[in-house]
Amino acid sequence: MAEGDDVRTRLLAALPHLTPTALRVAGVIRDDPAGAAQLTVNQLAERSDASTSAVVRLAKILGYEGYPQLRLALAAASTEPGAPVFATDIVADDALGQVLQKLTAFETEGMLATADLADPTTMEAVVGALVAARRVVIIGIGASGLVAMDMDQKLTRIGMWSHSYTSEDGALVQTSLLREGDVLVAFSHSGETSSIVDATRRAIEAGATTVAVTGAPQSRLARSAAHTLLVAGREDGFRSAAMASRMSQLLVVDALYVGVLQRTPASAQALRRTYEAIAPQRRYGTGLERFGETRAGVPAVSEIGELTTESVNPRTTALDSMSVTELLRAMNAEDAGVAAAVARAVPDIARAVETIVAARGRGGRLIYVGAGTSGRLGVLDAVECPPTFGTDPGEVIGLIAGGPGALWRAVEGVEDDPRAATRELSALTPELGADDVVVALAASGRTPYAIGALQYARSVGAAAVSVSCNRDAELTAYADVGIEIETGPEVLTGSTRLKAGTAQKMVCNMLSTAAMVRSGKVYGNLMVDVNPSNVKLVDRAQRIVAEATGVDSDTAAVLLAAADGHAKTAIVMRLAGVTQAQAHRLLAEADGSVRLAVQG
């Protein structure tokens, strides 16, 4: 790893865990690494409105002996040919295209940093433990729980005994039943989720091998687990770590999955058998012809082998002979091309965002629909919107073929029934209508369930958006806005949960985040509609109020309490000098925009 890459990786990994003062210093460095390298410790402290001791402490947090060593590393980073720069924060004045480009840069930044943080020895040890495991239990709460479900689905598909638990009780009960020879994989970006930490402790006491996947190397979870895999994902004012860290967590899951496949021929055979079990249904077209629902001008038969996502990747034909490090580098190199593929689709993504914003302005909903990995990614984006943007759970909805049970256990064959999507969409309350937007996700671009969803959406006047990973996808023909991200052959042939899954996650992040920015859910780059539903989010809400109004943390806490915990109301109360009731009225008149409420 080059020294410049190292300082960028260290800073990115540390950002979510720094104090406000350290964050100010880190912000100056992040925004202009070359300029920061020219500053003395006193100059950097003055520019950051911090003390020189705070600058030195940050240098030590990043692993340097002192500021001179950090300054040298920054200088090296600035002079490296093609050295990457940090993704810059989204601001309210950014054009929609800029918002989408910055989101792409954020995702790429996190995945590259995760690859740099990967320790080959630890990765080898974790893969070895999984291969030898009697059974594997995977736990996570909230969005981390959905990543746990994804890993469970992958391991189950290759014949391993695994199960994911995404509730506190389930995690605690199941880990208490583990014993020597079992493996626990625990997901928590903060590494401080109490139920996950407690469950890991129980697994250790039971003699199981424990693996932590976290973004906090000094957290309780990281310190207690036998093996720790670090992921990077930087938060900013309205983009939660859940949006970036989950991409990094999925990258780690993919690497472990392929590592197990490399080392166990039986796993590869199990994958082949499960594929062959459903191949007859997939091979003979979309499945629509079985129900007399083919569409004029769209072929009823689409051979899977003709799809680029199903073709053999010539760059990874020696996958089973690579070391873990070589494997990670190969996967990272392939993933690097995903961001560029998404960037080429920005104009279509922008059209979809404008469609969603218009629908939200009429009181409509954003509804993700998909099967398998595509469905899980839609659900993941939907469940992150309420805590991040303060939306009602009914405003952004995720539907997966096979129902909620398909989130944690693969339900094969359900994707081939287009009428299943019709049944689920028609059961929504209130009924699907012209004010709603349905986004159908399908890597292949020809999944009958996704096609059925868009057919029904258009039949009732709802806007239809498709997201696929093949050019000239059948799904596009059923959409008002078609987004095609041509990701090409997968590292593991046909495993579209890899690059295609990454691309779909990036698009979902863009759709929801950009739509919420344009819907008045942010002020500056602060997520002022955050729902402070736990201790971490209460602290974040206080920091948002302090940052937006310029008050200290104690005053921010008082303001937040006076606003019944609503950061947006507290900010308007302070900046406009009004009461809570008056702030509510101003926000209502400004359609929820803090900026307009204060200016008006």
**What CATH number has the domain bearing residue 551?**
1.10.8.1080
Annotated catalytic residue within 395, 415, 484, 486? 415
pLDDT for position 291: 34
Which of 235, 310, 334, 384 is the catalytic position? 384
Between 63-72, 181-190, 358-367, the lowest mean confidence (pLDDT) is in 63-72
The answer to whether residue 271 is domain-embedded is no
Clarify whether residues 479 and 342 are in a common domain.
Answer: yes
Task: Give the CATH number for residue 167.
Answer: 3.40.50.10490
| 25 shares its domain with 136 | no
* Same-domain status, 69 and 189: no
Mark whether 415 is an active-site residue. yes
Confidence of residue 33 (pLDDT cuts 50, 70, 90): confident
| pLDDT exceeds 60 at position 286 | no
Q: What is the pLDDT of residues 47-57, one digit of tens each?
A: 989 899 889 98
Strands across the sheet with 463-468, in order?
396-400, 366-370, 437-442, 463-468, 481-484
- Active site includes 384? yes
Q: How confident is the model at residue 409 (pLDDT cuts 50, 70, 90)?
A: confident
Inform me whether the pLDDT recorded for 227 exceeds 90: yes
What is the separation of C-alpha 380 from the centre of its chain, rounded to a whole number of angstroms? Answer: 8
Q: Is the pLDDT of residue 2 over 60?
A: no
| Residue span of the structural domain in which 577 resides | 535-599
Instruction: Write down which residue in 35, 70, 86 finishes a domain.
Output: 86
Verify that 79 and 208 share a domain, yes or no: no
CA 310 to chain centre: 24
The answer on 433 and 355 residing in a single domain is yes
Position 285 scores a pLDDT of 41
Q: Report which residue type is found at 482.
A: G
The answer on 210 and 65 residing in a single domain is no
The pair of structure tokens assigned to 505 is: 């996650």
Q: Quick one: 129 and 242 in the same domain?
A: yes
What is the number of other CB atoms lying within 10 angstroms of the CB of residue 582? 15
Q: 109 in a domain, yes or no? A: no
Rounded mean pLDDT of 299-304? 43
Between 256 and 6, name the one with better pLDDT: 256
The pLDDT, as a whole number, for residue 296 is 36
Q: Distance (Å, rounded) from C-alpha 180 to C-alpha 29?
A: 46
CATH of the domain at 53: 1.10.10.10
Residue 421 lies in a domain: yes
Is 105 part of a structural domain of the chain? no
Looking at the structure, do residues 484 and 380 belong to the same domain, yes or no?
yes
Q: What is the pLDDT of residue 241?
A: 53
Q: Is 183 helix (H, G, I), strand (E, B) or coil?
A: strand
Bond before 430 cis per omega within 30 degrees: yes
pTM of the model: 0.60
Whether 411 maps to a domain, the answer reads yes
Q: In terms of domains, do 331 and 480 share one?
A: yes
* 122 and 261 both lie in a single domain: yes
Say if residue 513 is in the same domain as residue 414: yes
Inside any domain, residue 28: yes
User: Could you read off the pLDDT of 173-222 as tens digits, one per residue?
Assistant: 889 889 999 999 999 988 999 999 999 999 999 999 999 999 888 899 99
Contact criterion met (CB below 8 Å) for 190 and 215: yes
Is residue 255 in some structural domain?
A: yes
Q: Has residue 103 been placed in a domain? A: no
Number of domains in the chain: 4
In this prediction, residue 290 carries a pLDDT of: 36
Please state, rounded to an integer, the average pLDDT across all residues of the chain.
Answer: 85
Domain termination residue (choose one: 485, 518, 551): 518
Same domain, 498 and 556: no
Cα 254 → chain centroid: 14
